[in-house]
Amino acid sequence: MSSTAKINHHRINGQILPQPCTHLAEFRSTNESRPFRAFQDCLRVKPPGGRAAIRREPNEVPHCGACGDAARARLYACVSCASVSCYAPSGPLHAVLHAESMPPGHEIAVDVDRAELFCCACRDQVYDRDFDAAVVLAQTAASTLGLSSSSSTSATEVASVIRFQHPANLRKRRRVDYRPWEPDLRERTLVENGSSPLERPDKAPEFPRGLRGLNNLGNTCFMNSVLQALLHTPPLRNYFLSDRHNRYFCQDRSNVSAAASASASAGVNASRRKVAVTTTNTDSNGKSRNCLACDLDDMFSAVFSEDRMPYSPAKFLFSWWQHAANLASYEQQDAHEFFISMLDGIHEKVDKDRRKPHSQGNGDCCIAHRVFSGILRSDVMCMVCGFTSTTYDPCVDISLDLEPNQGGSGKMSSTKAGHPCNGEAGYTNSRQHTGTSTLMGCLDRFTRPERLGSDQKFFCQQCQIRQESLKQMSIRKLPLVSCFHIKRFEHSSIRKTSRKVDRYLQFPISLDMAPYLSSSILRSRYGNRVFPFDEDEPDASNDLSSEFELFAVVTHSGKLDAGHYVTYLRLCNQWYKCDDAWITRVNENIVRAAQGYMLFYVQKMLYYKASEKQVAR
Amino acid sequence: MANEDNQSSHDQLSSHFFEDFLDSIIVDVASECHRIARLGLDRNLEEEEEEIRLSAQARVRVADPSNSSEANGKYIVDIFGQTHPPVASEIFDCMNCGRSIMAGRFAPHLEKCMGKGRKARQKVTRSSTAAQSRHSRNSPASAYSSYSNSTPSTSRLSNGTSSLAGEEYSNGIYEDH
């Protein structure tokens, strides 16, 4: 189904719009969108968030004008004369009869229960942008305060109201084409004079660069596993290897500012914290101020050098323990917690000096957020009136619950038996459970509409009281690198015990995140209508920016408090196992069959965004 | 006799209603799928299924004992042709106290050296100047999170067997993070 009939389509705002059949085209050119406007008043949406239907009066029971039948599965109202006819493939086709018996112009009808256009001559469902706009207008009227569903409100006004709900701090920078850079003669001389080749140009490296074991410093495999993934996170690696955080400059600058603050507080009764800072700065060893990004820079240099002996990330451990005092202990540690703590450490240290904007959503604050930060959208809909409240939150990863225990124990059932489509009008989700848990299954659950319990009533701005609500998450902006954290920890409050969930989770090597984007989720919530939703890009390459490739898998084996972390890295399409100091090559099957705890995916295609700064010449 | 007639007409009626409902639901699904397909909104199910198939195949192959499994154990040779002892033997200077420490024992050393961790804190709280020293700069660990039940909504996995596992605080006074 997916690849059929893609001819005869053209895109409007990122969506395919099929070419209208001759009857629809004829009808449009004669009537423009006038008849659709007339139908707008007849669009009824109930319950809130549900499907649109066509009813002249709210309680009208439509029936076929020819046979009087009201129970047929399909009843169509002619858009020219509004007469209702039935269409039952096994029985009478009064809708077709109507089209044939009337003068030309009565071929197009609308399904009264589903608000779908139908061509009675072609006997097929057809699609029209203006009609869809009218339907969406009716459907979304309930979700927004003060938006009337009168026919005077135009489609463009609706679009602007829907777009109003986008985060103000998400500026869209236009994309620029990739232009390969070649150094000119002067630049080439500069490069050759200021550097030395890593190896002989004719000798290709036998092993990928940056592949180097990390010594276990005593129960630090939780740290080593995450470090290996980060050392090979393409945008992060590129940032540090391009010398974007130069540890010498950074230390110089921090020493200057620390000295300034020390002298300023010297005469005053210094607070305890300030005393600690100056002690660290000016101690006898001449140690410079703690900066996790500097230590990471050091590590990148060491790991990407030619030295293949395992590296000891001791300085990094020391710096991290200074940053994350609550996690500083030689014992039980969690890799994901370390990951979060470390990103926070890089953010904080980089941010303090340069007064960059704190907004994490567009990643302008530091490299950690530039790489990992995405934006999640949360919609909460009042189940009584349909009013929807939307909030946006930045996130550096997505933590996913494993699906609850399925009936079959690991037996695979084909997804072909399930529903081939993913979207439905209204809020229901049709994805079928298979025998095995999958990453996409977890993401489906993450983005499915969730009924908030009666003890979690949400305050509805329209009703002005707490009401039962429906909540749905979606991804407003994808990060450059998506980190998925699988919650393999189960805590039972009854038994006061914790246990690890060893259940296998299938994860793909190539992952398309398109179904989880806010645009897709919103679109399917309103019946997959042809309508520009939120962040649809005007170019067809929108598809590519949601495709991701797996490059690192952090696995945990063993028990909750006595286990071991190992990372699998994908370099030059070959998988390597990084087990502390031991680097070995492994087959892709080993990785696919492994028990994933943290999965790292990078965007397949990276785009260059137009710089906001003037380019210096 | 009348009852049976009523019964069968009830059955007919209910089965008639059921068929109407079923027809309607089928058209719902067909109409939605038609729209999704025509507008190019369908998911790439073929690719998704291919991934699932490959993973299932991988699991079967890995489970097969006759297949050469990944190298395990700490006495293997890595891809660079090197072997390493189970406990990392590199020696370097501690950046806190300056002593020479072996890599594999660095973390436990650093923990005591920096005055962090449970064992270090227990020593502090047992001393006679317990209250005073806890707030001094020498023990900067002002917040410590207890693992098993302070963050019920998160998922935590720990690593490594530790001699400290299972020990309780003797004083139990600490600031929760």
Q: How far apart are CA A554 and CA A336, in angstroms?
A: 10
Sign of CA dihedral A522, A523, A529, A534: positive
Contact A413, A434 (CB under 8 A): yes
Q: Which of B146, B159, B162, B163 to mutate to test the interface with A (most CBs of A within 10 A)?
A: B159
User: How much is the mean pLDDT over chain A?
Assistant: 78
Q: What pLDDT band is residue A201 in, cutting at 50, 70 and 90?
A: low
Contact A480, A603 (CB under 8 A): yes
Length of chain B: 177
Crossing angle of helices A314-323 and B106-113, in 10° steps, is 40
DSSP string, A427-454: S---PPP-SSEEHHHHHHHHHS-EEPPG
Q: How far apart are CA A94 and CA A66, in angstroms?
A: 7
Q: Quick one: pLDDT at residue A200? A: 64
Q: What percent of chain B has pLDDT over 90?
A: 35
DSSP string, A223-272: HHHHHHHHHT-HHHHHHHHTTSS-HHHHHHHHHHHHHHHHHHHHSS---H
Q: How far apart are CA A39 and CA A30, in angstroms?
A: 17
B26 closest CA partner among A74, A459, A528:
A74
Which is the catalytic residue, given A64, A221, A291, A483? A221
- Whether A291 is catalytic: no
Residue A615 has pLDDT above 50, yes or no: no
Structural domain contains residue A577: yes
Query: Hey, are the CB atoms on B117 and A329 less than 8 Å from each other?
Result: yes
Q: Where are the domains of chain B?
A: 3-63, 76-116
Say if residue A47 is preceded by a cis peptide, omega within 30 of 0: yes
Residues A385 and A516 in one domain: yes
Q: Quick one: pLDDT at residue A505? A: 95
Q: What pLDDT band is residue A221 in, cutting at 50, 70 and 90?
A: very high
Residues A240 and A114 in one domain: no
Q: How far apart are CA A415 and CA A433, in angstroms?
A: 9
Q: Which domain holds residue A476?
A: 207-255+290-352+360-403+436-531+541-616
Distance from CA of A243 to the nearest CA of B (A): 25
Q: Quick one: pLDDT at residue A263? A: 58
Q: What pLDDT band is residue A89 in, cutting at 50, 70 and 90?
A: confident
Q: Give the nearest chain B residue to A288 (CA atoms).
A: B95
Q: How far apart are CA A578 and CA B49, in angstroms?
A: 29
- Whether A564 is catalytic: yes
Contact A135, A127 (CB under 8 A): no
Q: Which of A129-133, A274-278, A387-391 has the highest mean pLDDT?
A: A387-391
Q: What pLDDT band is residue A80 in, cutting at 50, 70 and 90?
A: confident
Of A229 and A63, the structure prediction assigns the larger pLDDT to A229
Residue A376 has pLDDT above 90, yes or no: yes
Structural domain contains residue A170: no
Q: Name every chain A residue with its beta carbon within 8 A of the beta carbon of B88.
A: 215-217, 310, 312, 580-581
User: How much is the mean pLDDT over chain B?
Assistant: 70
Q: What pLDDT band is residue A237 in, cutting at 50, 70 and 90?
A: very high
Residues 6+ apart with CB under 8 A from A354: none
A295 closest CA partner among A312, A319, A311:
A319
The enclosing H or E element of B124 equals helix B117-126
Distance from CA of B1 to the nearest CA of A (A): 30
Give the pLDDT mean for A103-128. Answer: 91
Residue B98 has pLDDT above 90, yes or no: yes
* A12-64 pLDDT per residue, tens: 444 678 888 999 898 888 887 677 767 778 888 877 777 888 888 888 888 88
Q: How far apart are CA A223 and CA A519, in angstroms?
A: 36
Residues A108 and A237 in one domain: no
Q: Which two tokens stand for residue A272?
A: 């305890």
Q: How far apart are CA A236 and CA A231, in angstroms?
A: 7
Residues 6+ apart with CB under 8 A from A471: A378, A379, A380, A381, A449, A450, A451, A452
Residue B49 has pLDDT above 70, yes or no: yes
Of A219 and A353, the structure prediction assigns the larger pLDDT to A219
Q: Give the nearest chain A residue to B21 (CA atoms).
A: A73
Burial A475-506 (b: 16+ CB within 10 A, else e): bbbbbbbbbbbbbbbebeeeeeebebbebbbb
* A560-592 pLDDT per residue, tens: 777 899 999 999 889 999 999 999 999 999 999
Give the pLDDT mean for A67-93. Answer: 85
Query: Hey, are the CB atoms on B58 and A590 less than 8 Å from each other?
Result: yes
Q: Name every chain A residue with its beta carbon within 8 A of the beta carbon of B74.
A: 582
Which is the catalytic residue, given A63, A166, A433, A564? A564
Distance from CA of B128 to the nearest CA of A (A): 22
Q: For the whole model, what pTM was predicted?
A: 0.78
Query: Hey, are the CB atoms on B137 and A275 less than 8 Å from each other?
Result: yes
Give the pLDDT mean for A336-357. Answer: 74
Instruction: Using CA atoms of A406, A409, A412, A414 in order, give the dihedral in degrees to the nearest 10.
Output: -30
Q: Which of A340, A544, A582 to mutate to test the interface with B (most CBs of B within 10 A)?
A: A582
Structural domain contains residue A553: yes
Residues A464 and A553 in one domain: yes
Query: Hey, are the CB atoms on B35 and A528 less than 8 Å from each other?
Result: yes
A270 phi/psi in degrees, rounded to 5: -65, 140
Distance from CA of A533 to the nearest CA of B (A): 13
Q: What pLDDT band is residue A331 in, cutting at 50, 70 and 90?
A: low
* B153-176 pLDDT per residue, tens: 345 555 443 333 333 333 333 333
Q: Name every chain B residue with its beta carbon within 8 A of the beta carbon of A587.
A: 70
Contact A145, A131 (CB under 8 A): no
* A400-429 pLDDT per residue, tens: 998 776 544 433 333 333 333 333 333 333
Q: What pLDDT band is residue A66 in, cutting at 50, 70 and 90?
A: confident
Structural domain contains residue A485: yes
Of A133 and B56, the structure prediction assigns the larger pLDDT to B56
Give the pLDDT mean for B140-145. Answer: 33
Burial (Cβ within 10 Å: 0-12, 13-18, ≥19) of residue A364: middle
Q: Which of A280, A298, A332 to mutate to test the interface with B (most CBs of B within 10 A)?
A: A332
Q: Name every chain A residue with its beta carbon within 8 A of the beta carbon of B114.
A: 318, 321-322, 328
Residue A360 has pLDDT above 90, yes or no: no
Neighbours of A310 (CB within 10 A): 23
Q: Quick one: pLDDT at residue A203? A: 65
Q: What angle do CA A15, A16, A22 make, to 5 degrees?
A: 135
Residue B16 has pLDDT above 90, yes or no: no
Contact A139, A131 (CB under 8 A): no
Q: Name every chain B residue with its beta carbon within 8 A of the beta carbon of A218.
A: 104-108, 160
Query: Hey, are the CB atoms on A332 and B160 less than 8 Å from each other?
Result: yes
Q: Which of B80, B155, B164 to mutate to test the interface with A (most CBs of A within 10 A)?
A: B155
* B115-131 pLDDT per residue, tens: 876 555 554 444 444 44
Residue B94 has pLDDT above 90, yes or no: yes
Residue A164 has pLDDT above 60, yes or no: no
Residue A356 has pLDDT above 60, yes or no: no
Q: Quick one: pLDDT at residue B177? A: 35
Name the B residues in 63-102 with CB < 8 Å from any A CB. Answer: 63, 69-71, 74, 76, 78-80, 82, 84, 87-88, 90, 92, 94-96, 98
Q: Name every chain B residue with its beta carbon within 8 A of the beta carbon of A527.
A: 32, 35
Q: How many domains does chain A have?
A: 2
DSSP string, B49-114: HHHHHHHHHHHHHHH-TTS-PPP-SSS---TTS----SS---EEE-TTT--EEEGGGHHHHHHHHT
Q: What percent of chain A has pLDDT over 90?
A: 36
> Of the ranges A163-167, A450-454, A524-528, B108-112, which one carries the lowest mean pLDDT score?
A163-167
Contact A552, A233 (CB under 8 A): yes
Q: Name every chain B residue with its beta carbon within 8 A of the beta carbon of A211.
A: 79
Residue A617 has pLDDT above 50, yes or no: no
DSSP classification of residue A152: T
Q: Which of A434-438, A599-603, B93-97 has the highest mean pLDDT?
A: A599-603
Query: Hey, are the CB atoms on B39 and A530 less than 8 Å from each other?
Result: yes
Q: How far apart are CA A134 and CA A138, in angstroms?
A: 7
Q: Quick one: pLDDT at residue A1? A: 39
A564 closest CA partner among A584, A601, A520, A594:
A594
Distance from CA of B71 to the nearest CA of A (A): 8
Contact B81, A460 (CB under 8 A): no
Q: How far apart are CA A426 and CA A47, in angstroms?
A: 9
Of A419 and A91, the structure prediction assigns the larger pLDDT to A91
Q: What angle do CA A572, A575, A580 make, to 5 degrees?
A: 120
Q: Which of A242-251, A275-284, A440-449, A541-550 has the highest mean pLDDT?
A: A440-449
Q: Quick one: pLDDT at residue B20? A: 87
> Shortest CB distance from A422 goes to which of B43, B55, B116?
B43
Residues A103 and A212 in one domain: no
Query: Hey, are the CB atoms on B104 and A216 less than 8 Å from each other?
Result: yes
B177 touching chain A per CB within 8 A = yes
Report how far apart, in Å, the C-alpha atoms of A439 and of each of A511, A598, B57, B141, B155 are. 9, 11, 17, 38, 17
> To which residue do tokens 């009168």 refer?
A150
The enclosing H or E element of A469 equals strand A469-477
Query: Hey, are the CB atoms on B59 and A593 less than 8 Å from each other?
Result: yes
Neighbours of B30 (CB within 10 A): 14
Give the pLDDT mean for A102-113. Answer: 90
Residue A341 has pLDDT above 80, yes or no: yes
Structural domain contains residue A150: no
CATH number at residue A396: 3.90.70.10
> To which residue do tokens 């399909």 refer?
A74
Structural domain contains residue A470: yes
Query: Hey, are the CB atoms on B159 and A335 less than 8 Å from each other?
Result: yes
Number of cross-chain residue pairs from A and B with Cβ atoms under 8 Å apart: 319
Neighbours of B138 (CB within 10 A): 11
Q: Is A474 helix (H, G, I), strand (E, B) or coil?
A: strand
Of B8 and A126, the structure prediction assigns the larger pLDDT to A126
Q: Quick one: pLDDT at residue B144? A: 32
Q: What percent of chain A has pLDDT over 70?
A: 71
Query: Hey, are the CB atoms on B149 and A588 less than 8 Å from each other?
Result: no
Q: Which two tokens stand for residue A112?
A: 């009264």
Q: Quick one: pLDDT at residue A52? A: 87
Query: Hey, are the CB atoms on A508 and B48 less than 8 Å from each other?
Result: yes
